[in-house]
Chain A
Amino acid sequence: SQKIEQNSEALNIQEGKTATLTCNYTNYSPAYLQWYRQDPGRGPVFLLLIRENEKEKRKERLKVTFDTTLKQSLFHITASQPADSATYLCALDHNYGQNFVFGPGTRLSVLP
């Protein structure tokens, strides 16, 4: 069956450290994968998109990798700040981009 898993429901790290979140998928063949941030009571906000032919993508303190062999994406936040505390969702395209399927999310807490 098709499945998307994110490494842990919750992750606590110390301010200034690098947060690494994992997204694993089974029985999908996405052309691209996206990461979103969701704050309580709000809709998800797009962060980064990485295509199947790209190994790595960066944006400021964010870095995403995409390994289609391992069927895994890693999302890194360097020099983390308390303001980075939120739930992070991975999403991959399904049915050749016809819709997005989301993982369950990881709730990140950056402790001062």
Chain B
Amino acid sequence: GAGVSQSPSNKVTEKGKDVELRCDPISGHTALYWYRQSLGQGLEFLIYFQGNSAPDKSGLPSDRFSAERTGGSVSTLTIQRTQQEDSAVYLCASSLEDRGWGTEAFFGQGTRLTVV
């Protein structure tokens, strides 16, 4: 498809387990973002990838969270030893390279993670 694709759409996991969330950005988009949205809350920035530059990991809430982007395309967000407070919708977005002029972000539908 032409849009940002995330999988799975829903994930229920037991506390303490590890989970992997996948994001397929729009082809040709060099920037990729992960956000987290808790119920009724705004979007919380997690991590940003831009081309071959070092990712901006400043939003990751703890060292249990990590993300990688292989070949400048697909990205995986990994949460280790999940906790109940990790329950949220995880949103991925991609955009063309921002040259300071501004560029819109295209969001996927999100992965709803529930930790029980």
Contacts A34-B104, A100-B105: A93 and B91 contacting too (C-beta < 8 A)?
no
Q: Which residue of A lies closest to B44 (CB)?
A: A102
Q: Which residue of B lies closest to A105 (CB)?
A: B42
Answer yes or no: A74 CB below 8 A from chain B CBs: no
Contacts A32-B102, A44-B107, A45-B107: A104 and B41 contacting too (C-beta < 8 A)?
yes
Q: Is the CB of A98 within 8 A of B106?
A: no
Answer yes or no: B18 CB below 8 A from chain A CBs: no
How near does chain B come to A110, taking the closest CB pair, in angstroms? 20
Q: Which residue of A lies closest to B47 (CB)?
A: A99
Q: How far is the CA of A32 from the CA of B98 in the complex (A)?
A: 11
Q: How far is the CA of A95 from the CA of B56 in the complex (A)?
A: 10
Q: Is the CB of B100 within 8 A of A96?
A: yes
Q: Is the CB of B102 within 8 A of A97?
A: yes
Q: How far is the CA of A18 from the CA of B93 in the complex (A)?
A: 30
Instruction: Report, as a range, how many residues of chain B touch the other chain.
Output: 20 to 34
Contacts A43-B93, A43-B108, A102-B35: A51 and B102 contacting too (C-beta < 8 A)?
yes
Instruction: Report, as a range, how many residues of chain A touch the other chain.
Output: 20 to 34
Answer yes or no: A19 CB below 8 A from chain B CBs: no
Answer yes or no: B33 CB below 8 A from chain A CBs: yes
Contact with A along B73-116 (1 / 0, CB 8 A): 00000000000000000010100001111111111111000000
Where the two chains meet, the residues of A that have a C-beta atom closer than 8 Å to any C-beta of B are 31-32, 34, 41-46, 49, 51, 89, 91, 93, 95-105
Q: List 11 A-B contacts (CB under 8 A).
A: A34-B105, A42-B109, A43-B109, A44-B91, A49-B103, A51-B101, A51-B102, A97-B102, A99-B48, A99-B56, A104-B42
Closest 10 CB pairs of A and B: A43-B107, A32-B102, A97-B98, A104-B42, A46-B104, A102-B43, A99-B48, A49-B102, A44-B107, A43-B91
